[in-house]
Structure formats: structure tokens, C-alpha cells
Amino acid sequence: MSRTRVVVTGMGAVCATGVGVPALWQAARNGASAVGLSEFARPGTNQVKLAAQIKSFVPEAHIEAKVLPFCDRFAQLAIVAADEAMAQAGLAREPRQGSRTAVILGTGIGGISTVDDLCYSAYAAKTRLNPFAVPRIMGSSATSHLSMRYGCTGPTFTITSACASSAQAIGLATSLVRSGAVDRAIVGGSESSMTALNIRSWELLRVLTPDACRPFSAGRNGMVLGEGAAIMVIEEREAARRRDAAPLAEIVGYGTSSDAFDIVRPDPEGACSAMQLAIADAGLTPDDIDYVNAHGTGTIANDIAEADALQRVFGDRLPRLAVSSTKPIHGHTLGAGGAIELAISIMALRDDIAPPTINWLGPDPKCALAPVANEARATPIRVAMSNSFAFGGVNACLLVARPDLTPGGSRCERAG
């Protein structure tokens, strides 16, 4: 019995690279970093000054005045990315999407900007508190806004699994579509953690770099935080076909696992398990994977553990496999990272281009892989893998294939 196939028919993104997937892909492909000096209305005691902040975003240009007071910045980013994804999918706010459409998003910390403002007003400035603080803070706020915006009355919920949040949201939504519970889903993730206090908190964990994020490179010393959102419309393939939607990619595999090991230290076994589960879910072998968008934070512990896990999955092929981390370009966007990096992976599929790992200085003997270093590489890509490995040991892996290929690699009947 053949399995229900799930395709992506629309994508949207807002990152430090700009508004829209084209801006994100152009920066990723060209290795153009959007990391710069952070700016805060209330500067803290940060020693680390780098971040991938969105500095040109004007929410009033995109979102209605009656909606904005209820939206923390992470919900604003989700709405703008969703509008782009829905438009590309050929869907609109009218007619309403109804009970056969789900909304499932991921976020790590939800409305932290509102929490920061609220604490300052209450304890320092002693000014009037925002009466809409509660609906802005809720981790499920962005998800609910999207369900109301498009009239989606199917399953609607938010996944919070730190940096694996949006990858798990996409994977679980794929399972719902496969099961027949819904025809389509609005999925992805959003995160805006750009407060001085939050960056100082990460700094205290000694995982932020003071100079440059260099995943898998000699001399790497940490990551750069970022903010952003990526939203996708996924659909049962035949439902998409009936309304003449053009698939961008097919989601062919999903795997998730838990290290059950340590709250901040990764265990390669857990990451390896997530990748193997995704490959098995797709009915593929490691040899079918042509590109890996690695979690690749640039921290010493993460990169060694992920390289170890990739070695266990791909064996002797790993040094020849196209692997890159795009986090030095758009920053580590925490709960939104899985969705943003899957969008980049889908564009890599479309163009047969593996984006680069920029800032790479040379090999680290403890990372047995040769990333696509500093410049993009043209290479045929049949299937791309996107990894998300979170604090707390939660792992998620997604596989996407070209929409005109069957998982086994041959042309399907829909080609053309």
C-alpha cells in the first residue's frame, strides 16, 4: 500500500537577511552574512556584541493596525512569513481554510520581548503595563494568529522543544497529512529573542562567539544568535494537484529522538538516531542523500558531536558529501532554525547548489567532514537533509526531495 505523499507548495521567511525567501536564499547562496553589531533600546551588560538582528522590518507595513497590539515581534514575523507562503501556494484569507487545514508552529521562548518590556515597566520604570501582555507572551500566540488570519479550524498547536521546535512542528504536521487527518497544514517556526538580557544569558553559558561563527572550522569558538521566521504550506500531493498548485519539494522523511543524556551537552547517538529514522522513514539509504544542512552552531561541543553522528550515518562517504551550516549568515534562530534551514535546503534542491559554510579557516581534526567552505558549490541534489539538535537533547531531522522524483530516485508520473 503506497503512502500518502506530502509536498510543500508555499514558503515565506523573514530573517536578518531581509523579508522574503528570495532574500534569504540569495544571502545563503552568496555567503553574505547578515550578522552585525547588536542594537537595543535598553543596553545591558553584554560583552558579546554580535547578532543577526532584523533591522529594517516595519510591522505596520505588513500587518493591520487592529492586529498589531496583540502581537509580540515573534508573532509579527510569523504573520509576514505566512502571508508570503500562502500567496505562493495560491491560497488566500478568503475563502476560509476550514477544518481540513492545520496550523502547527514551533518556537523556543515565544514572546520574550514582551516579557522584557513588562519587567522593565513593572520593576524599573514603574510605568503603565501593557494590557495585552498575556496574548503577546503566549507561546501559542503566533499559531493562533495564523489560524484566525486564514480561518483554519483544524488542529492548531505549538511545539516548544528549544532549537528542534520548528523541525518537529513540520515533521508532526507531515504525519497528520499522511494520516488523512487534514489535507494541508501551515507549518514552520518563529523566534525573536533579541533582548540584551537574553543575549547576556546565552553569553553566560559561554557558547557565543565574540568575533565570528565558524561551524566545523579550526578556531571556532561559538555561535551567533539571530531572529526570524519561516512558514510553509504543506499539502497532500493529490489535493495540491487538484487545485493545480506547483510543488516546490516533497517531504519524504522525518525522524526525531531524545538523547536522554544532558541538558546542554549533546550525545552523538541521539543525533545519529534521528537521521537514521528520517532515512528509514523515506525508504532511502544514506547514499541517496546529496546535501546536508547541518545544525552546525559553531560551538566546540555541538560540532564535534554532530560530525561524529554524521560519520556514523554516512561512513566513508562523509568527506565527499556536501555539508554546510548556514548559521553564520542568518544566525542561530533557536526554535525557528529548523524551518529557516529547511527553506534553504529546498532552495538548494531547486537550484542544485549547496550553500557555503562561511568564515571557515581550515579543518578541525575532531570534525571528520569537509564542509562546503566559504563558497557555494554547484552539485546535483536529489535529496537534502536538514538537522536540528536542541539543548535538552531533543533531535529532529527532515528530508526533502525534488518534487518530480520518487523517493527511490526515478521519475514519478507527475513529472512535467
Q: What confidence score (pLDDT) does residue 84 get?
A: 98
The per-residue pLDDT for range 366-387, each reduced to its tens digit, is: 999 999 999 999 999 999 999 9
The beta-strand segments (E) located in 133-290 are 156-159, 184-191, 228-236, 249-258
Q: Which of 165, 169, 163 is nearest to 186 (CA)?
A: 169
Residue 193 identity? S
Q: Report the alpha-carbon angle 36-136-127, nearest 5.
A: 85
Q: Which of 145, 152, 272, 295 is catalytic?
A: 295
Q: How far is CA 364 from CA 198, 304, 389, in A?
A: 30, 9, 20
Which H helix or E strand runs over 8? Answer: strand 6-15
pLDDT for the residue numbered 411: 39
Residue 145 is among the residues annotated as catalytic for this protein: no
pLDDT of residue 362: 97
In angstroms, rounded to a whole number, what is the distance separating the alpha carbons of residues 303 and 339? 20
Looking up cell 505566512 gives: 82
For residue 152, give the amino acid letter: C
- Tell me the per-residue pLDDT of 222-257, one tens digit each, with 9 for 90 and over: 999 999 999 999 999 999 999 999 999 999 999 999
User: Does the pLDDT at position 412 exceed 60?
Assistant: no
- Give the pLDDT confidence score for residue 359 in this predicted structure: 98
What single string gives the DSSP state of each residue in 233-244?
EEEEHHHHHHTT
* Cell numbers standing for residue 391: 539543548
CA distance 349 to 290: 9
Provide the pLDDT confidence category of residue 414 given band limits of 50, 70 and 90: very low
Least Cα distance to 209 among 5, 371, 50, 389 occurs for 50
User: pTM for this structure?
Assistant: 0.96
For 329-368, the pLDDT digits (tens) are 999 999 999 999 999 999 999 999 999 999 999 999 999 9
Average pLDDT, the chain: 95
Answer whether 290's CB lies under 8 Å from 382's CB.
yes
Mean pLDDT of 302-315: 98
72 vs 66: CA distance, rounded Å? 14
Helix (H, G, I), strand (E, B) or coil at 366: coil
Question: What's the rounded mean pLDDT across residues 291-318?
Answer: 98
Residue 120, pLDDT score: 96
**163 a catalytic residue:** yes
**For position 403, what pLDDT does the model report?**
87
pLDDT digits (tens, 9 = 90+) for 30-89: 999 999 999 998 988 999 999 999 998 999 999 999 999 999 999 999 999 999 999 999
Average pLDDT over residues 99-107: 98
By the 10 Å C-beta count (0-12 exposed, 13-18 middle, 19+ buried), 258 is classed as middle
pLDDT at residue 43, as a whole number: 86
Write out pLDDT tens, residues 389-407.
999 999 999 999 998 765 5
Percent residues over pLDDT 70 in the chain? 97
State percent of the chain over pLDDT 90: 95
- Reading the block at residue 37, the C-alpha cell is 553589531
Residue 330 a catalytic site member: no
Burial of 18 (0-12, 13-18, 19+ CB in 10 A): middle
Contact 61, 74 (CB under 8 A): no
- Which helix or strand (DSSP H or E) is residue 172 part of? helix 165-179
pLDDT at 68: 98
Out of 71, 330, 332, 367, the active site residue is: 332
Closest CA to 166 of 142, 195, 201: 142
Per-residue pLDDT, 2: 80
Using alpha carbons only, give the angle 265, 271, 275 rounded to the nearest 5 degrees.
170
Could you tell me if 190 and 138 are in contact, meaning their C-beta atoms sit under 8 angstroms apart?
no
**What pLDDT was estimated at residue 1?**
65
d(CA 65, CA 381): 43
How confident is the model at residue 416, as a pLDDT? Answer: 25
**Structure confidence at residue 287 as a pLDDT band (50, 70, 90):** very high
**List of residues 6+ apart from 391 with CB closer than 8 A:** 162, 163, 263, 264
Write b or e for each residue in 140-159: b if 16 or more Cβ atoms lie within 10 A of its Cβ, otherwise e: bbbbbbbbebbebebbbebb
Q: Say which of 163, 213, 367, 397 is annotated catalytic.
A: 163
For the chain, counts of helices (H) and of strands (E): 12, 15
Cα–Cα distance for residue pair 44/40, rounded to 1 Å? 8
Read off the C-alpha cell for 177: 497529512
